Structure 1
Amino acid sequence: MNVMSVLNQIMGQAQGGQSRSSGGMDINSLMGSLGNQVSGGNGGSGIDVKSLLGGGALGLMLGSKRGRKMGGTALKYGALAGVGALAWKAYQNYQSNAQGVPQQAPAQQGRPLEQLQGAEQEKRGLEILQAMIMAARADGHVDANERALLTQEIEKLGPDDELHNWIQQQFDAPLDAQALAKNADSPQASREIYVVSAVMIDDQNAMERAWLDQLAAALNLDPGLAKELDQQVRAVSQG
């Protein structure tokens, strides 16, 4: 399946920029951009909110009709473009600040999405895309009409037949945090799944927040780590 081609384009929509056609992501560029946002700088990768919520697959998944606030809340969607780097940074902060938490070798953690290649990146990409779709459905507002519109937008991204069928299956599947968590292939994958979900949900929506809490439990995330992941997502929105 050409999942990374589609996922990269969706992530490109999060930045309000040009869609990426294919290939791996530049981890150094993403880290620089992410660091600039977290530190409150004014870099050249600013997020075009109008472009973000005006349409496209991401805009429809977020559901602009739900009345999401603009500004900081929309800015956090830029975290999608560096999800692996952000999740890894949060883990490092957590390890540095936590007392009595066993230190684990980096090899045991798995690598960030942006550092993976080939089949490994495709597999992680499926996990990330599944998490995005599940989070988009968490408030129960993806009706038949929205699904049809979303399918049209996803088709524009050029998924192959196998990926198209897989995406449709995700819209039909039960919302099951345990099933989603089982797909995580490493602790880093679990953190990325949580970050993507945290970006997609609206904290002010009780149903969406409940989904995120269920997912954190299913992923066996320590509450302190989940809190750090949430803080990193919020930091991007304040950039």
Structure 2
Amino acid sequence: MNAMTILKQLMSQASGGQAGSGGGTDVNRMVGELASQFKGGGSKSGGSGGIDVKSLLGGGAVGLMLGSKRGRKMGGKALKYGALAGVGVLAWKAYQNYQAQAAGQVPDNTQQGQPLEQLQGSAQEQRGLEILQAMIMAARADGHVDANERALLTQEIEKLGPDDEMHTWIQQQFDAPLDANALAKTADSPQASREIYIVSAVMIDEQNPMERAWLDQLANALRLEPALARELEQQVHVAAGV
């Protein structure tokens, strides 16, 4: 399956020229800083950081998954979608902050797993599948992905060039029950769990009770400490500058 090919294009849809937008986190810079913490690591971010709100909400697979045509407001809520371009970096930063606040100690990198941007080959492909699954489930969390929306979303995803196996897998994700425990079991490391949560936090509208409930269920399924879950959500807002 070509999961990372699809994910990188989705990240690209959610990225744009934040460097000149005044505010928010420079995701590219964070990727570069993170690379120095891992031996042999290089910056391989799937996007350029930031977000072009108009292009995001105007269409494309990400725009449809975010349910823009159901009336979500632009501004802060839209800006946070730029965090998709640096999901691994932001999840790792949240972990570092959480550890520093909880114990005042430097985190032990060796037991956590690497961020998405530092993985390569089959390991990155597997993590990409986990993140894509989280994105699709979060998009379905409000229960409003009807047959017409699914057809439109499938059409947009097809434009990204999924191979046959990937196409079948994506359709399976739309048919599968919304099961936070099943999603949590796909996580291959603590870092993967944090990335699954943070991408879900990006996708949901926290003002929607059903979507907020999904995020809370996921935090429990992933066995995230409440303080860590809050820090992960905070990183999404920091990245958006809101």
Q: Please confirm whether the aligned pair reaches a TM-score higher than 0.5, indicating the same fold.
A: yes
Looking at structure 2, the residues matched to 120 and 91 of structure 1 have their Cα atoms a distance apart, in angstroms, of 21
Q: Which amino acid aligns with 2:90?
A: L
Superposed, 1:33-182 pairs within 5 Å as 46-99=50-103, 105-182=108-185
- TM-score, with structure 2 as normaliser: 0.86
Looking at structure 1, the residues matched to 68 and 50 of structure 2 have their Cα atoms a distance apart, in angstroms, of 20
Looking at structure 1, the residues matched to 83 and 150 of structure 2 have their Cα atoms a distance apart, in angstroms, of 24
Report the CA distance between 1:105 and its aligned residue. 2.4
Looking at structure 2, the residues matched to 120 and 46 of structure 1 have their Cα atoms a distance apart, in angstroms, of 26
Name the stretch that deviates more: 148-157 or 229-238: 229-238
Q: Is it true that 1:29 corresponds to 2:42 in the alignment?
A: no
Looking at structure 2, the residues matched to 34 and 210 of structure 1 have their Cα atoms a distance apart, in angstroms, of 34
Secondary structure of 1:111's partner?
Answer: coil
Report the CA distance between 1:190 and its aligned residue. 0.1
Q: Is the 8 A contact 2:50 2:85 kept in 1?
A: no
Which runs of no fewer than 5 residues in structure 1 stay unpaired? 18-27, 36-43
Name the stretch that deviates more: 60-69 or 127-136: 60-69
Report the CA distance between 1:65 and its aligned residue. 2.0
Looking at structure 2, the residues matched to 83 and 208 of structure 1 have their Cα atoms a distance apart, in angstroms, of 19
Report the CA distance between 1:48 and its aligned residue. 1.3
Counterpart among 217, 221, 226 of residue 224 in structure 2: 221
Q: Is the 8 A contact 1:33 1:45 kept in 2?
A: no
Structure 1 pair 204/99, CA: closer, same or farther in 2 (3 Å)? same
Alignment correspondent of 2:206: 203
Looking at structure 2, the residues matched to 122 and 63 of structure 1 have their Cα atoms a distance apart, in angstroms, of 26
Report the CA distance between 1:72 and its aligned residue. 1.2
Looking at structure 2, the residues matched to 104 and 236 of structure 1 have their Cα atoms a distance apart, in angstroms, of 21
Report the CA distance between 1:71 and its aligned residue. 1.0
Q: Is the 8 A contact 2:14 2:56 kept in 1?
A: yes
Which runs of no fewer than 5 residues in structure 2 stay unpaired? 18-26, 35-47
CA-to-aligned-CA distance 1:130-176 (integer Å, 9 cap, x gap): 00000000000100000000001000000000000000000000000
Report the CA distance between 1:5 and its aligned residue. 0.5
Number of aligned pairs?
221
Looking at structure 1, the residues matched to 151 and 176 of structure 2 have their Cα atoms a distance apart, in angstroms, of 16
Q: Is it true that 1:2 corresponds to 2:5 in the alignment?
A: no
Counterpart among 231, 235, 239 of residue 236 in structure 1: 239
Q: Is the 8 A contact 1:30 1:82 kept in 2?
A: no
Looking at structure 2, the residues matched to 81 and 178 of structure 1 have their Cα atoms a distance apart, in angstroms, of 26
Looking at structure 2, the residues matched to 141 and 87 of structure 1 have their Cα atoms a distance apart, in angstroms, of 28
CA-to-aligned-CA distance 1:107-130 (integer Å, 9 cap, x gap): 110000000000000000000000
- TM-score, with structure 1 as normaliser: 0.87
